[in-house]
Structure 1
Amino acid sequence: MAIKSYVGALLLLLSFSSTINAQVFQIENYSANGGGIPDITQSFLGAWKKACASPTRAKVFIPGGTFALSEVVLEGPCKSHVEFNIHGTLQAPADPSRFRTDGWVVFQHIDGLTLLGGTFDGQGRIAWAQNDCNKNQNCRTLPTNLRFNFVSNAIVHDVTTLDSKNFHVNVLGCNNLTFQHFHVNAPGNSINTDGIHIGRSLGVNILDTDIKTGDDCVSLGDGSRQITVKGVTCGPGHGISIGSLGRYDNEEPVSGVFVTNCTITGAQNGVRIKTWPASKIGIATDMHFEDIQMNNVANPVLIDQGYCPWNQCQAEIPSLVKISNVSFKRIRGTSASKVAVKIACSKRIPCENVEIADINLVYRGPDGPATSECSNVSPLISGVQNPPACAKPVS
């Protein structure tokens, strides 16, 4: 754990020290679009192509100001490490119909990348109003602000993503990727705007980051391995979540997740693991939530193996995702709901090796003090337990 906590800082130091003599490519020859904001799309892509082709370390420099940017794919592999140094705000088209794909700015097949500074403004408000996924299973997939597809040895530092139309960040197939001092900002009513979603990736670190959004602050999909979430502030949002898991065939196991020293405020959930009922077979193991401050959080501690949003599932059929080796330790603060700790595991495959230690969650509602509920689990309980752990078995 101690080694992991310094990964981001070391990567950043190496990045700064090795880009001092980098060849710099600036955006240039851009013109104002119809709204009067300079459109840098072609210049941006041109600078990227030159930087990616550079045999030595290269830097793409974007000055201060606000610039329009259409959807772009920054495709590798590159000949050397590339840094984006952004001082201004990049603004997406507001109209979702302007997009052909599900990504606005996409980095893919790159080994060696630094993304430093800048704001990515997704202008998502029109898209949120059009989102009907709560009643339409075939709803249109809206674009994500930042996509990292098959990116290795990368750091994203001091970057802000604002008002994304869909997820703010999607990480897929990545290896050794660190987000540090990263900022996500969207209102609590923005629909399906997960802050950082990770899937099928190894060694992703989210450090000293603040996330305000309308869905999960951090969400981990299948195949997430060796993930560190440390020093994150979350809220508004839906908390820090593993899952949902088990919806699709051939999902990869989730393992090695460490969520520590985080603060969650005014969120719909705190720390949770969620799997679908009537699920496919899956595995989620070695997951640890420690030293978490909850401030007026509904469902502060939650395992939900009957996760069924919008009633679009067969809730009566147990989940087949096996959950094991989980710990919730030193979790404190206030709950916005009476059931502060709920461990609801699958009837078909009960949870194994769940540890609950030193929990102190206070509820001050009119219906009495906080309670806890457990089903299909026999946890190891130690230390302070407020509310009393698993005081109410649920069949």
Structure 2
Amino acid sequence: MAMKSYVGALLLLLSFSSSINAQVFNVATYGAKGDGSSDISQALLSAWKEACASTTPAKVLIPGGTFALTEVALDGPCKAPVEFELQGTLKAPADPSLFKTDGWVVFQHIDGLTMSGGGTFDGQGKTAWGQNDCAKNTNCRTLPTNLRFNFVTNALIHDVTTLDSKYFQVNVLGAKNMTFQNFHVNAPADSINTDGIHIGRSDGVNILDSDIKTGDDCVSLGDGSRQITVKGVTCGPGHGISVGSLGKYENEEPVEGVFVTNCTIIGADNGVRIKTWPASKPGTASDMHFEDIQMDNVLNPVILDQGYCPFNQCKAGVPSLIKISKVSFKKIRGTSASQVAVKVLCSRSVPCEEVEIADIDLVYNGPEGPATSECANVKPVLSGKLNPAACAKVVS
């Protein structure tokens, strides 16, 4: 953790120094108008191209105002660190049929990226949520994500907001050493598939001191997520902080090193969660730790579910082949919105190993009686106060 703190401080120093010394490329210079209707895509691409070609630190500036923006890909590699400063609001086209790709604003193949400015990426997703039929249609069209970071290294994303994306708010793929700090996600509870920050095949991603309100997982970690820290995050509404779903595809990479600490989850469908598909492909997920979490009226505060099968789009009776090990749930407290406050339901084919449950205090005040817990195919190590008692019911 000391190394991660050092990296965070280094990135902040990089951001500070680059903002002082950087050459500024203001999109207004390239013809952008903050009138809410004039498309600034070409102006932004032109500003980015020049900033990226600069041999000294550069800044792309979008000043105050409301700017219409169609989909753009801001490509590297760049010759020096680049800061993207958004002071105003960017608005996506409301009609999802106007998009040709699955990303609205895409940053890719960049080493040394800072994003700041206090501005907002407004995906105008309300129209798209009603068109999302992925619950019934396995071949559904993928809607655009507000922000995509593809193969970005040494990045700091701070003090900006993503609002009402049509699909995932943020997707991170192939990142190394990337930090989100004081980052804001805002969408209503009924916004379908609007995961706050989804991470896959990335190493060293930190989500710090941020708030996420959305209609799906606040944070979701896909295969290949390694050394991920989620600290000081407030989540809700949403579906909690989740590892998975894992095991749906061939050749998924291991999940290793997940640290979720000092978070608050409010009114969410889930709290901290690990989920794998039944009838899954083989894989592993290990070294995952959830500690010092406050739950406030959360439906499933602690859940490890190796039979995750939404909308019956899987073979529910066939056990998962994802091997889960070295997991801890510690110092988790607050209130549950359901009687079964703790579920640790592992695969009968590959039972969980080295699971630790310690210092749990979750209260349920419903008519069924006090909070309880369920376990399957696991023999956890127990310590500290446990309310409810661990593995009160063993299920097959």
TM-score relative to the length of structure 1: 0.98
Amino acid across the alignment from 2:377: N
Q: Secondary structure at the match of 1:300?
A: strand
Give CA deviations for 1:42-78 in whole Å, capped at 9, x if unaligned. Answer: 1100000000000111111111010001100011111
1:32–1:52 distance in 2 versus 1, CA, 3 Å: closer
Matches within 5 A, 1:59-74: 59-74=59-74
- Kindly state the Cα deviation for residue 339 of structure 1 after the two structures are TM-superposed: 0.3
Quote the Cα distance in structure 1 between the aligned partners of 2:19 and 2:102.
32
> In the alignment, what sits opposite 1:193?
194
- 1:176, CA displacement in angstroms? 0.4
Distance 1:310 1:36 in 2: 39
Cα pair 1:375 1:393 within 8 Å, conserved: yes
Q: CA deviation at 1:217?
A: 0.1
Is 1:295–1:333's contact at 8 Å kept on the other side of the alignment?
A: yes
Taking the aligned partners of 1:128 and 1:7, their CA distance within structure 2 comes to 38
In structure 2, what is the Cα distance between the partners aligned to 1:127 and 1:270? Answer: 27
Aligned counterparts of 2:4 and 2:52: Cα–Cα separation in 1? 29
Deviation, structure 1 residue 171 = 0.3
Distance 1:36 1:387 in 2: 53
Q: Secondary structure at the match of 1:360?
A: strand
Structure 1 pair 340–6 and aligned structure 2 pair: CA distance change class (3 A): farther
CA–CA distance in structure 1, aligned partners of residues 63 and 18 of structure 2: 21
Whether contact under 8 Å (1:59, 1:84) holds in the other structure is yes
**Letter aligned with residue 321 of structure 1:** I
Q: Which amino acid aligns with 1:151?
A: V
Alignment of 1:154 with 2:161, yes or no, is no
Equivalent residues in 2 for 1:348-387 (5 A)? 348-387=349-388
**Residue type of the partner of 1:99?**
F
Deviation of 1:30 (Å): 3.0
Deviations 1:183-208 (A, max 9, x none): 00000000000000000000000000
1:288-327 matched pairs, under 5 angstroms: 288-327=289-328
For residue 25 of structure 2, what is the aligned residue in structure 1? 25
CA contact (8 A) 1:8 1:179 kept: no
Residue matched to 1:255: 256
Provide the C-alpha distance between the structure 2 equivalents of 1:153 and 1:7, rounded to a whole number of angstroms: 9
Q: Distance in 2 between matches of 1:32 and 1:116?
A: 20
Aligned residue type for 1:42: Q
CA contact (8 A) 2:299 2:336 kept: yes
Counterpart CA distance in 2 for 1:244 and 1:163 is 23
Distance 1:2 1:31, change over 3 A: closer
TM-score normalised to structure 2 length? 0.98
Matching residue of 1:12:
12
Contact 2:341/2:362 (8 A) holds in 1: yes
Alignment CA distance shift 1:5-1:229 (3 Å): farther
- Corresponding residue number in structure 2 for 1:129: 130
Aligned 1:72-151 pairs, distance under 5 A: 72-117=72-117, 118-151=119-152
Alignment pair present for 1:341 and 2:342: yes
Q: Percent identity, aligned pairs only?
A: 77
Q: CA RMSD in A?
A: 1.2
Deviation at 1:36, TM superposition (A): 5.5
Structure 2 unaligned blocks of 5 or more: none
Q: Residue 41 of structure 1 corresponds to which residue in structure 2?
A: 41
1:237 aligns with 238
The question of whether the paired residues in 1 share the 8 Å contact of 2:267 and 2:297 is answered with yes
Indicate the SS of the match to 2:49: helix
Contact kept in structure 2, 1:198 and 1:219, CA below 8 Å? yes
Q: Which amino acid aligns with 1:16?
A: F
CA displacement at 1:381 relative to structure 2: 0.3
The CA deviation string for residues 328-382 of structure 1, in whole angstroms up to 9 with x for no partner, is 0000000000000000000000000000000000000001000000000000000
